[in-house]
Amino acid sequence: MTQGLRSYNAWHPILHTLWIKATTLIYNSPASYIFSQIIVVALCVGFAIYTLTKLGLPKFLAYLLSLFYALWPVMMFYSVTMWKDIPFAAFILLFTTLWIKVIFSKGAWLKRPINMIAIILVGFVVINLRNNGSFVVIGTLIMFVIFLRGFRIRLGLILIGVLAVNMLFTTVINNILHATPNPLNQALAVPSQQIAATFYNNGKISNELKAYFTKILPEENWKKDYNPYTVDPIKHDEKYNSKPIDQDFGLYIKNWAKLMKDNFTIYVKAYLHQTSAIWRYQSPNHHKVFFGTKQDLEKANYDVRVFALYYGGGKNNDYINMRAYAKYKDDIKLTGQTAVSFNEYVKHRAETSKDTLVSDSKFKLYNTFLNKLYDKIQTSGQNIFLKGAIPLLLLFLAFVANLNRSKGENWLIFLPIVITIITIAIAMPATDFRYSFSFIFTVPIILFVSKLRANQDTV
C-alpha cells in the first residue's frame, strides 16, 4: 500500500501503514521503519521499567529486567520484524503501565490533564494498531469507570476523548486515502475453522446448511483446505466467496449456530486446535508454531515479496504483474479513484518496490549466530519460547498473588492484558506466535508489579 501497489485497506491498520509510509519518505527501505520501531519499543519498555523503579523496584532488578528484554531470543528477531503485532504489543505494555500509575496513585495521577491526554493518545494508538485493540481500550476504560469510584467523571472524559479522536482520525483518513473497509471474513477465523472441521470430519450437515455454506466454498475445498492450526488455506482459496457473508452477516451467524447444535464436539475440538498456541505447552503431532522466517528478502517469491499476494509456484513475473495489476484496478474502482497505467504500475511502482526489498547484513558473524538461534527456537525451543502456556501460568500466579496482597482495585491493572488474551482467543486466525506475543510481552512487567505496594507520592 505504501508503494501504491495496493489500494489503502483497513484490513491492515491504516495507522501502521501511515507509519511505514512516513519512514519511506525519509529512506525508501524497510530498514528505516525497523529503526523507528526499535526506538518506539525501547522507549515503551524503558518507561515501564522506570515506572517500576519509582514504585520501589530495586535497581538491580530493573537492570535484570532490561537485560531480559534485550537478550530475550524472541525479541532479537521481533525487534527487526515488520509486523503490526510488535508495536501493538509494545503499546499494550505502555497502556498497562499508565494504568499502573493510576492504580498505585489511587487515582490521583488522573488529576493532571496531561496524564489524561496521555491515556487518550496511547489508547488511540492501541485501537489503530490491531482490530482487537478497540475491545482492549474500551473494555478497560468501562471497567475502570465502574470500579474506580471518585474518578468516574475523569475516566468518562477519557473514554469520550478516545472515541472522539478515533472517530475523527477514521473519518478524515478514510476520506483522504479512500480506504476500503476491513472484510468481514478476516475476523471469522474460528467459525471458518469449525465449519471446515465439520465438513472434514463428515459431521451432521442438513441439506439447507450445506447449500448455504457451499455458496461460500465448495464442499471439497472445505475439506481440502482444513488445517487445524491455521485458517489461511480457507480464506486465501481462490474459490472462497465472501458475498453471502457480506450480504447478510446475521444469516451467516445463524447458520453457523445451527451447525454447532448438531456438531458441538467437532466445534470444541476445532476451537481448541486453533487456539492451542495460547494455552498448550506440548504441540500435538509435531506441529510447529510459526515464528517467522530467516529467508532473505530477495529470495522470496516475486508475488509475495512485491505484492503480498500468492499465485502459486512456477509463475513468471509478467504473469504475476498482470494478475496484480488486475486486482489493483478492481480495488481502485471501489474507491472511485482512477488507476494508473500498467506501465506506470510495473516500472515505477513494482520495480521500485522490488529494488528496496533486499537483505544485506553488514555483520556476517552476528547474522550466522541469529540463524542458528532461529533454528534452535524452531526446534527444541518451541515449547519454552513460542507457546503461551508458561506466560499464562505466570500471569495467573501474579493475579492470585496480587489478590492476596491487596484488597483494593489493584486487580484492574490486569485488565488490558486479560482482555487482549480473550480477544485473541475469540478470533485467532492461526497458531502464529505473533498473536500470543501481544500479551506475553507485558507479562514480565506484570510479574514485578504484583510484588510492589502502592505509594501515591512516588508515582
pLDDT in tens, 100-116: 999 999 999 999 999 99
* pLDDT score, position 182: 73
Would the pLDDT of 157 be above 70? yes
Structural domain contains residue 163: yes
Structural domain span for residue 129: 14-182+364-407+442-458
What is the C-alpha separation between 459 and 457, in angstroms, rounded? 6
More confident residue, 355 or 117: 117
Residue 380, class by beta-carbon neighbours within 10 Å (0-12 exposed, 13-18 middle, 19+ buried)?
A: exposed
Domain count, the chain: 2
**Does 273 fall in a domain?**
no
Q: Is residue 65 part of a domain?
A: yes
What pLDDT, on a 0 to 100 scale, did the predictor assign at position 406? 64
What is the rounded average pLDDT of the residues 50-74?
A: 94
In the prediction, which pLDDT does 282 show? Answer: 82
- Do the domain assignments include residue 105? yes
CA 425 – CA 279 distance, rounded (Å): 10
Q: Are residues 346 and 399 in the same domain?
A: no
User: Which of 164-168, 185-189, 317-321, 405-409 is predicted most confidently?
Assistant: 164-168
CA pair distance 424, 391, nearest whole angstrom = 15
Do 170 and 318 reside in the same domain of the chain? no
Last residue of a domain, one of 356, 389, 421: 356
- What is the phi/psi pair of residue 294, to 5°? -100, 10
In a domain? residue 422:
no
Work out the percent of the chain whose per-residue pLDDT is above 90. Answer: 61
Domain check: are 29 and 143 in the same one? yes
Residues 452 and 313 in one domain: no
User: Do 378 and 341 belong to one domain?
Assistant: no
In a domain, 160, yes or no: yes
pLDDT number for residue 331: 84
Residue 335: pLDDT band (50, 70, 90) is confident
Identify which of 78, 142, 187, 177 has the alpha carbon closest to the alpha carbon of residue 434.
Answer: 78
Backbone angles phi, psi at 380, to 5 degrees: -75, -15
The answer to whether residue 233 sits within a structural domain is no
Q: How far is CA 248 from the centre of its chain?
A: 27
pLDDT in tens, 257-303: 999 999 999 999 999 999 988 998 887 666 788 888 887 777 788 88
Is residue 41 domain-shared with residue 139, that is, in the same domain? yes
- Predicted confidence at residue 459, as pLDDT, reads 61
Residue 245 has a pLDDT of 94
Residue 219 banded pLDDT, cuts 50, 70, 90: very high
Both 352 and 381 in one domain: the answer is no
Say yes or no: 178 and 105 in one domain: yes
Of 356, 372, 399, which closes a domain?
A: 356
Among the candidates 356, 373, 397, a domain finishes at 356
Tell me, yes or no, whether 95 and 123 share the same domain: yes
Residue scoring higher pLDDT (245 or 282): 245
Q: What confidence score (pLDDT) does residue 454 get?
A: 57
336 in any annotated domain: yes
Q: Do 167 and 106 reside in the same domain of the chain?
A: yes
Same domain, 24 and 162: yes
Three-class SS state of 9: strand
Mean pLDDT in residue range 442-448: 94
Name the average pLDDT for the chain: 90
pLDDT of residue 301: 85
Residues 6+ apart with CB under 8 A from 136: 92, 95, 126, 416, 419, 420, 423
Q: Kindly list the distances between the CA atom of residue 177 and the CA atoms of 12, 126, 129, 337, 451, in Å, as whole numbers in the listed order.
A: 13, 21, 17, 10, 47
Query: Within this chain, do residues 453 and 343 fall inside the same structural domain, yes or no?
Result: no
Report pLDDT for 285. Answer: 67
